[in-house]
Amino acid sequence: MNKFISRRSIQVLTLFTCQLFAAFNSAQAQTSNAPDRFWQPTRTFHTADEFKKATGGRVVIQRSTVIRVTNEGTLTATRGGIVQRKPDGILQPYFSDRLLPINDVKVLAHDESFIWMGTEHGAFSYNNTSNSPIKYYAGKRWLPDDRVTGFGFENLKGDRYAVWIETAKGYSRIEFRLTTLAEKARVFEQRVRSRHVRHGLTADSHLKVPGDPGSNQMVSSDNDGLWTAMYVAAECFRYKVTGENEALEFARQGLQAIMRLEEISGISGFHARSIIKIGLDEQPKDGEWHTTADGLWRWKGDTSSDEIVGHYFIYPIYYDLVAGDAEKAQIRAVITRMTDHILNNNYQLIDTDGKRTRWGWWGPDTIWEDPDETGLRALHILAHLRVAYHITGNQRYKSAYDDLINKHRYHLLMRNQKINYPGRVNHSDDELAFLSYYPLLNYEDDPELRKIYIQSLERSWTVERPERIPLWNFIYAAGSGSNEFDKSESIRTLREIPMDTISWTVTNSVRMDIPFNNSQDRFNRKQALIVLPYDELPIMKWNGNPFRLDGGNGGRSEDDGAFYLLPYWMGRYHKLIGE
């Protein structure tokens, strides 16, 4: 037995696996006729007076420790779980086929199909008519306080219903409304436009008052170009799917901001990580910053391969899908400068000090300096050169591409691009790999090279499948042409992503129903052996660790949410999912 996996983890994992296979088989059977609408929860917090005023006495709070459920008998809350007395008098644990998130249950309530359970570490619900997984609600994403004391149910007309959860610090009203992925995308789009566009770049947002989006202040990040590229790509796909001029306008604004990152550096072909306007934006305390000649702006240097991947990802998407003739000329020019900078400097990014940036290198002379990333770097530079040749037709880039393949075997190096040992996976590298697979396989037409590239993609995707990340699944489908890309799991994740992208503190390490990985992640944080529902995880982009149990910052920041928009619109564009 692996000494890093406890017996308890094996027990929990076994139960989870049984449930997973049952859910998977059910989902597969329903994929072809799955309904477009799903129940999307959102919450609001209320004081006791607000609760009384809003409900007008129509909602009665249930605070019982014993409830009677049709066909189930009686359920009794205890410190050790829930005891069921079946109609025939037999006593047994409830549930017999799964573990509760928290054993010490303080209060029970029942409304039609749902059983609600309250603890001092949050609430959870179970649909006892469908045998669906237990849903866990804890932390300020859902509750004003985790000490739950009662439940009340609100009768609503039409396609919504609501539960009121009483806690030691007020009430949470969680409303479930039937919606579609397209309707959800509109909400995410509005969030980006209202609080996450800074000088045209898709920006992080800090909240001066924790949890209050109205107190947001947009700030610079390490990779503004990369995050903007992912948002602009989403808008390009959206434009091709819907024809909406708004999407084209947003994509154009973002692309111009990305191109400005090269212009402001003053170094031909060298993109800044980010920019700030002096006297207006908050000056970050980290990184290498340079002031422009006019004294009005600062730009962040030491540009990494992360940024470069983002640029080579978005330029061809915009070029192919939405660019007019004038914009195509602009893109050809900037791609030429970028690629010439890399080739003229022996496959390196050279900063203002004349030295190589920390992560900006891909050449045969240096690619083995970091063996863990040799295959990843090979993938990056092959994708970059293939994009450059596609856009410019410059034979120099094709010759460099061929040389790396024929002389240095870069195509073979990338077959095993993901070689981190379990527990220490760099999920940011996963993101950079898949964003490079997309253009490489989009433009390579040589059958033998495609075969090798698809082998690499297949291997990487197989490792990533348990994470249920729709962006990786859709890139795999688009690149490989496979009809099996975990469509139902992708839709599940898109549905689970919470409407609220505030970075609330999440603590799952107190739960009893999770198989823990005794090996911590590369930041020495606790992690699970499975990926929990995404609305039970800390908010994160796709470069985060979905196995991470705890996280968040107390509601002090809000993510832009482009991590939802990009896979949704990419999936729509490639006809992998519907609305």
Q: What pLDDT does 421 receive?
A: 65
Task: Name every residue whose Cβ is closer than 8 Å to that of residue 439 and which is 6 or more positions away in sequence.
Answer: 312, 313, 316, 317, 383, 386, 387, 390
Q: 560 and 424: one domain?
A: yes
Q: Cα 69 to the chain's mean position, in Å?
A: 38
Q: 128 and 216: one domain?
A: no
Q: Three-state DSSP class for 234?
A: helix
In the predicted model, residues of the chain with pLDDT beneath 70 are: 1-35, 420-423
Q: 321 and 273: one domain?
A: yes
Distance of alpha carbon 198 from alpha carbon 221, whole angstroms: 11
Amino acid identity at 428:
S
Q: What pLDDT does 333 receive?
A: 98
Tokens 């017999």 found at: 96
Q: 463 and 520: one domain?
A: yes
Nearest-10 Cα torsion for 417, 422, 423, 425: 10
Please count the structural domains in the chain.
Answer: 2
Assess if residue 386 is contained within a domain.
yes
Q: What pLDDT does 541 receive?
A: 97
Q: 347 and 446: one domain?
A: yes
Assess if residue 29 is contained within a domain.
no
Q: 167 and 198: one domain?
A: no
225 and 263 Cβ atoms separated by less than 8 Å: no
Q: What pLDDT does 391 receive?
A: 98
Assess if residue 15 is contained within a domain.
no
Q: 88 and 191: one domain?
A: no
> pLDDT of 424-436, one tens digit each?
789 999 999 999 9
Q: 172 and 189: one domain?
A: no
CATH number at residue 338: 1.50.10
Domain final residue pick, 178, 198, 232: 178
Domain final residue pick, 155, 178, 201: 178
Distance of alpha carbon 518 from alpha carbon 527, whole angstroms: 8
Assess if residue 59 is contained within a domain.
yes
Render the burial of 491-520: b for 16+ CB within 10 Å, e for the rest: bbbbbbbbbbbbbbbbbbebbebbbbbeee
Q: What domain range includes position 163?
A: 39-178
CATH number at residue 51: 2.130.10.10
Q: 174 and 252: one domain?
A: no
CA 537, 540, 541, 546 dihedral sign is negative
Largest Cα–Cα distance of the chain, in whole Å?
Answer: 84
Assess if residue 21 is contained within a domain.
no
Q: What pLDDT does 19 receive?
A: 47
Q: 153 and 188: one domain?
A: no
Counting other chains too, the contacts that 16-19 makes at CB distance below 8 Å and 24 or more residues apart are 16/515, 16/530, 18/97, 19/97, 19/98, 19/133
Q: What pLDDT does 422 receive?
A: 63
Assess if residue 288 is contained within a domain.
yes
Tokens 């949704």 found at: 568
Q: 121 and 202: one domain?
A: no
Domain final residue pick, 109, 144, 178: 178
Assess if residue 403 is contained within a domain.
yes
CA 133, 134, 135, 136 dihedral sign is negative
Q: 291 and 409: one domain?
A: yes
Assess if residue 12 is contained within a domain.
no
